Amino acid sequence: MRPALLALLGAVGLMLLIACANIAGLLLARAAPSASAEFAVRAALGASSARLTRQLLTESLILAVLGGTPGWGIAWFGTKALVALAPWLPRVSSVALDGRVLMFSLGLTLASAILFGLAPALPLRPDPSWRDR
C-alpha cells in the first residue's frame, strides 16, 4: 500500500505546484506593463511602493484563502466519502483530518500566497511613461 500512497502524494503535490504556478502567472500578468499605468497613477497620487506591494499581497492572500478554504472542505468531504465507500482498504477507519492537517494546509496556503504575492511586486517600479501608450 505504501508505493500507491506515495504515488498519490506525488500526484497531489504536483497538482498543487501546477495550481500555484497558474495563480502566479495570473498575478504576474496583473502586474504586467498593462497594469503599470494603474500603479503609476497610484504612485503619482502619493502611494509608496510599500503600499503598492501591500495591495498585491492583499490580493494574493484573498485569492489564496478563497482557494484554500474550498480545497480543505473538499478534502474533508472526500475523506468522509473514501471512508464510507472503501471500507475494504486497510486501516481506513483511522483516516481523518485533524487540527494538524488544518494547520499544515493553512500554513501552506499562507506561504504560497506570500511567495506568489510578493513575486509580482519585486519588479514593481512605477513607469512614468505610461501616458505615452
pLDDT of residue 127: 52
pLDDT, position 79: 87
Whole-number pLDDT of residue 35: 64
Low-confidence ranges of the chain (pLDDT < 70): 30-35, 122-133
Distance CA 99, CA 102 (A): 5
Length of the chain: 133
- Condensed to tens digits (0 to 9), the pLDDT of residues 1-21 reads 788 878 988 998 898 788 878
In the DSSP assignment, the letter for residue 42 is H
What cell numbers appear for 98 in the block? 485533524
Domain boundaries, the chain: 2-132
CB 35 within 8 A of CB 79: no
Helix 49-85 / helix 33-44 crossing angle, nearest 10 deg: 130
